[in-house]
């Protein structure tokens, strides 16, 4: 015969115990990052932190250090600063990625209100500010004993999702009282995500007075060597593109997978976005749209690289109509995705 359950006994602190907040759960949305400003020194600090990460550039340090510090950081901050100036949120004096990620966190907090005041939503950047470490401190100060980290990358890559985990654990290594921890897995094939992308694309394309001959699903690239070493990123991107194509009812040649934002001399996963755009224009394609399913928020890579650079490539080679489809950002479909992932990963805690 089973023993009856032991009644729970409330835990009460002694009367002279110092006040302390406890019993809450923190949700931390983490995106890639953005510089604090567009001038040389803020850009240099941001690029140095980003390009010093061995998850991003795994070249041996003895070889990479002089290249980074003596060559790249002497010229690249000015060029990238000019690019950021074209997309900068002058009202808030910040990059759009920071503005959008803040909005996502605020809207997620509102959507989780039914779970009670013990859920605290915050946001951070892997590179730049606000830092992951500072927001973990802030959440602990608010009494969060459990922490859900949500890397804002639908597809897993060591250079994105894994490096968020690295930074979180770096912080935890310094803490005497660590919170319980969960890190949300990627959601590259979640039906809510795929349907949100499809509905967002359809709504955008319906507003155009022309129809695209081809749509490119352009993802940020990684070196081919990273994939060869076992990174699942290419597979995740391919599955997202396939599911999106099937949901929209498009043939293979109408929605194509490409990769952008190449850096350095080594080979990256293909096909490359810019070369595909050029080839399509030269082949006679007149109407082109590009969507960026791997980005949860518009940023330099979507607004400037796709919306300006690739637009120019297309039109300079014979293309006529071009449209960069916005990311999900903090739209209702986009927030449906973030809320779904968060609620799923909070199960058992709340």
On whether 220 is known to bind a ligand per the annotation, the reply is yes
Q: Is 91 annotated as a binding residue?
A: no
List, as own/partner pairs, every contact residues 160-168 make where C-beta atoms lie below 8 angstroms and the sequence separation is at least 24, other chains included. 160/32, 161/186, 162/55, 163/53, 163/55, 163/56, 163/126, 164/30, 164/126, 164/132, 166/55, 167/126, 167/132, 167/133, 168/132, 168/136
Per-residue pLDDT tens over the stretch 137-153: 999 999 999 999 999 99
Q: What is the pTM of this model?
A: 0.93
Cα→Cα distances 100→78, 152, 208, 304, 325, Å: 24, 12, 24, 16, 16
Of 6-15, 84-93, 161-170, least confident by mean pLDDT is: 6-15
User: Is a pLDDT exceeding 90 seen at residue 225?
Assistant: yes
More confident residue, 299 or 14: 299
Q: Give the pLDDT band of residue 333 (cuts 50, 70, 90).
A: very high
The mean pLDDT value for 41-65 works out to 96
Domains of the chain, start order: 24-185+333-346 (3.40.50.1400), 191-324 (3.40.50.1400)
Q: Could you tell me if residue 318 is left (phi over 0), alpha (psi between -120 and 50 degrees) or otherwise beta? A: left
> How many angstroms separate the CA atoms of 249 and 266, rounded?
36
Measured from the Cβ of residue 204, the count of other Cβ atoms closer than 10 Å reads 15
Q: Does residue 4 register a pLDDT over 80?
A: no
Ranges assigned E (strand) in 129-243: 144-151, 180-183, 214-220
Output DSSP code: residue 208: S
Sign of CA dihedral 38, 44, 48, 51: positive
Give 53's Cβ-side CA count (13 Å radius). Answer: 23
Mean residue pLDDT across the chain: 95
Please compute Rg for the chain using Cα positions: 22
Q: What percent of the chain has pLDDT over 90?
A: 92
Band of pLDDT at residue 8, cut at 50, 70 and 90: very low
The mean pLDDT value for 101-125 works out to 97
pLDDT tens string 178-213: 999 999 999 999 999 999 999 999 999 999 999 999
40: pLDDT strictly greater than 60:
yes
Average pLDDT over residues 62-91: 96
166-167-170 Cα angle (round to 5): 90
Confidence of residue 7 (pLDDT cuts 50, 70, 90): very low
Q: Is the confidence at residue 13, as pLDDT, over 80?
A: no
């Amino acid at each position: 015969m089973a023993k009856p359950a032991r009644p729970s006994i409330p835990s009460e602190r002694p009367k002279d115990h110092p006040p302390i907040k406890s019993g809450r759960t923190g949700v931390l949305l983490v995106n890639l990052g953005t510089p604090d400003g567009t001038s040389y020194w803020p850009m240099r600090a941001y690029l140095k932190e980003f390009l010093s990460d061995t998850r991003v550039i795994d070249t041996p340090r003895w070889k990479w250090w002089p290249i980074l510090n003596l060559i790249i950081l002497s010229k690249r901050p000015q060029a990238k600063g000019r690019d950021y100036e074209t997309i900068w949120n002058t009202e808030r004096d910040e990059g759009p990625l920071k503005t959008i990620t803040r909005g996502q966190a605020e809207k997620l907090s509102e959507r989780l209100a039914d779970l009670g005041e013990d859920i605290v939503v915050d946001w951070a950047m892997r590179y730049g500010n606000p830092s992951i470490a500072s927001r973990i401190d802030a959440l602990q100060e608010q009494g969060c004993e459990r922490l859900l980290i949500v890397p804002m990358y639908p597809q897993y890559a060591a250079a994105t999702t894994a490096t968020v985990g690295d930074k979180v654990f770096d912080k935890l290594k310094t803490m005497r009282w660590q919170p319980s921890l969960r890190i949300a897995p990627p959601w590259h094939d979640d039906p809510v995500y795929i349907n949100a992308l499809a509905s967002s694309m359809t709504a955008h394309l319906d507003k155009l007075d022309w129809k695209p001959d081809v749509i490119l699903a352009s993802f940020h690239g990684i070196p081919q060597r990273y994939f060869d070493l076992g990174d699942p990123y290419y597979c995740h991107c391919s599955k997202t593109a396939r599911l999106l194509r099937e949901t929209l009812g498009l043939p293979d040649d109408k929605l194509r997978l490409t990769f952008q934002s190449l850096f350095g001399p080594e080979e990256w996963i293909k096909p490359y976005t810019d070369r595909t755009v050029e080839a399509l224009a030269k082949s006679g394609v007149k109407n082109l749209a590009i969507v960026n399913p791997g980005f949860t928020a518009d940023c330099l890579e979507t607004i400037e690289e796709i919306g300006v650079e690739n637009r120019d490539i297309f039109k300079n080679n014979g293309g006529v109509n071009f449209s960069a489809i916005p990311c999900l950002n903090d739209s209702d479909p986009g927030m449906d995705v973030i809320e779904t992932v968060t609620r799923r990963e909070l199960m058992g805690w709340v």
